[in-house]
Structure 1
Amino acid sequence: MSKAPDNIAAYLESVPESRKNAFTKLRNTIINHLPEGFEETISYGMIGYVVPLDKYPKGYHVDPKLPLPFLNLANQKNYIALYHLGLYTNEALLSWFKDEYPKHSSRKLDMGKSCIRFRQPDIIPYELIGQLLEKISLEEWIMSYEKGRKK
């Protein structure tokens, strides 16, 4: 088993040529639409977008030394994956996304709890992903996370 890339440049280099353009375009969509304050890093072996510890010193409850995760982008064996924790914690956001998806893609939504799988890189709904990212600010994400932790 090979070691996971430990920086973003190495991660991007590891993406297969058949997915590289779509993966790069999806990353650029994220960067262009991600609300202010989130930071791009390697998180859990993927490209991650997190709340930096200087903005949320409590960190992630699983390991408080780690920044609070929000979004991850990964090249998996059979697909590109986008993990959006807001979809997992916010039912209204999830409902909006599921309603909007068919307006942006002719393919059926392939999704787990927070994971959106794109098995065909040429049909990623970039515009919809951009809209999704603009729906939750850093402050709203922290409040949502803390509310969920209190349950």
Structure 2
Amino acid sequence: MNEYIEQIDEKWRADFAKLVDVVESNLPDGFERAMQYDMISFVVPLSTYPKGYHCTPNTPLPFIALAAQKRHLALYHMGVYADETLLSWFQEEYGKRVPTKLNMGKSCIRFTNVKNIPYDLIGELVSKMTLTEWITIYEGGLNK
């Protein structure tokens, strides 16, 4: 994983490392850091959830992933994709705290200007969903 960070363009590297630290230090117990889909990821380990990710069996259930792209840093948070209440909270808080417009896809939060990364808000977002809550939401989505 350190190799991944070392390969990031110097203009993104320190902020990416800080983003990894913020996620890791605010993540509820039980998630594990791993490399998944060529990104630094935080997953539900197979020892906790043996069913794993339905799209790729025998793969830990993804929760959060971080990537350095050519034009932005990306935080993929599956919880905001699956939980409308969490998504609404995040969008509202982002608007209150950050002077720029939120650049977001379904689960991907993109940061094109590292000066506007709301590390405190990301820490809060990461802490809001436990491992058990994520598994419950994930399984509920499979049964639809």
TM-score (norm: length of structure 1): 0.94
Aligned residue in 1 for 2:30: 37
Shift of 1:9: 1.1
Moved over 2 A (4+): none
> What count of residue pairs does the alignment treat as equivalent?
144
Distance 1:109 1:65 in 2: 34
- 1:126 is displaced (CA, Å) by 0.3
Percent identity, aligned pairs only, is 51
State the alpha-carbon separation in 2 of the partners of residues 47 and 115 from structure 1.
Answer: 14
> Partner of 2:85: helix, strand, or coil?
helix
Mapping of residues 1-151 of structure 1, within 5 Å: 8-151=1-144
CA apart distance, 1:80 = 0.1
SS across alignment from 1:101: helix
Contiguous gaps of at least 5 residues in structure 2: none
Q: Find the residue that maps to 1:37 and give its secondary structure.
A: coil
Q: Aligned Cα RMSD in Å?
A: 0.6
Aligned partners of 1:51 and 1:138 also within 8 Å: yes
Which segments of 5 or more consecutive residues in structure 1 lack a partner in the other structure?
1-7
CA contact (8 A) 1:48 1:71 kept: yes
> What TM-score do you get using the length of structure 2 for normalisation?
0.98
